[in-house]
Amino acid sequence: MAIVTIPAEARRITDQAEIRSFLAVHNIHYEVWPLEDRVDPASAPEKILAAYAPEIEELKKRGGFVTADVIDIYPDTPNLTAMLDRFNKEHTHTEDEVRFILQGSGVFHVHPHDTHSAPSAVFAIEVGGGDMISLPLGTRHWFDLCSDRRIRAIRLFQDMTGWTPYYLEDGVHASYQPLCLGPAWVAGAGRTAL
Ligand SMILES: [Fe+2]
């Protein structure tokens, strides 16, 4: 269940329909896919990809993706810090970044440049199991894991080279901490004003 936070506006969105419309304004596509009802999210990658074949085929048709895989990151994944350091600085890609989260969680920060006036405010999208997100190519963003450093996700690619990050030099990411609230927060536990 995603949570969107816009720090500059002291605003937080937890309603899934509202999140969907907020992100759509920035051309970010967000959906909630069935999880345990469909397949055990801990299943082998082939079983996962087979279970979500209809959704993956639909995305492939819509977005020109050619391949899908399942990425598994654990706290003891070799070279994890170096891997995360590639993506936790503001960057863009030459293809859409599409992820369906199976287990674990993480935070995308987006730095919108979709208007001709001053840049819009940076916002964070916390994603967890069941969330499918598609950031269009060219979106300025960065990604952090939550403190448990665990994520399992389906990724879609148009071209493996398209996943290369192109860094921006404005250093915006340095002003934001990845704050992970989690589903318990959405349910009301420990909820505080922003
Ligand atoms: Fe990225």
The tally of domains found in the chain comes to 1
Structural domain contains residue 15: no
| Distance from Cα 106 to the centre of ligand 1, integer Å | 12
Structural domain contains residue 13: no
Structural domain contains residue 85: yes
Res. 160: pLDDT tops 90: no
Residue with tokens 């674990």: 104
Produce one character per residue of 151-166: b if its CB has 16 or more CB atoms within 10 Å, e if not.
Answer: bbbbebbbeeeeeebe
pLDDT, tens only, 15-57: 999 999 999 999 999 999 999 999 999 999 999 999 999 999 9
| Distance from Cα 188 to the centre of ligand 1, integer Å | 31
Domain range enclosing 86: 31-106+126-179
pTM for the predicted model, two decimal places: 0.92
| Distance from Cα 93 to the centre of ligand 1, integer Å | 6
Structural domain contains residue 175: yes
pLDDT, tens only, 124-158: 999 999 999 999 999 999 999 999 999 999 999 88
pLDDT, tens only, 83-93: 999 999 999 99
In sequence order, the 6+-apart residues with CB closer than 8 A to the CB of 126 are 2, 3, 4, 5, 105, 106, 107, 146, 179, 180, 181, 182
Q: Any idea what the CATH number is for the domain that residue 38 is in? A: 2.60.120.10
Q: How far apart are CA 54 and CA 60, in angstroms?
A: 10
